[in-house]
Amino acid sequence: MTDSNLKYRYDNLEIQLFEQIEKNKKLEEKYEQLAEQLVGDDATDRYTHQELINEVNRLKDIEENENE
């Protein structure tokens, strides 16, 4: 493989990595927004992921019981 081919592959991988990092940042922001809507400010600092899931399930159970 020539140096120019290696440089092209390196540049391409760098671009892909940057795009993935940006995508992950956006997903993290959305997760934080959802968590804060669920349990309030600093939700991801105060609660574990599992605790947030448990809260969603608890609210879902309440809603299902109200509809019965």
Q: 7 to each of 10, 19, 27, 36, 38, how far by Cα in Å?
A: 5, 18, 30, 43, 47
* pTM to 2 decimal places: 0.70
- pLDDT tens track, the chain, 68 positions: 788 999 999 999 999 999 999 999 999 999 999 999 999 999 999 999 999 999 999 999 999 998 87
Half-sphere exposure of 9 (CA within 13 A, CB side): 6
Q: So what's the pLDDT on residue 37? A: 95
What residue spans define the domains of the chain?
3-66
User: At 4, which helix (H) or strand (E)?
Assistant: helix 3-39
Tell me if residue 1 falls in helix, strand or coil: coil
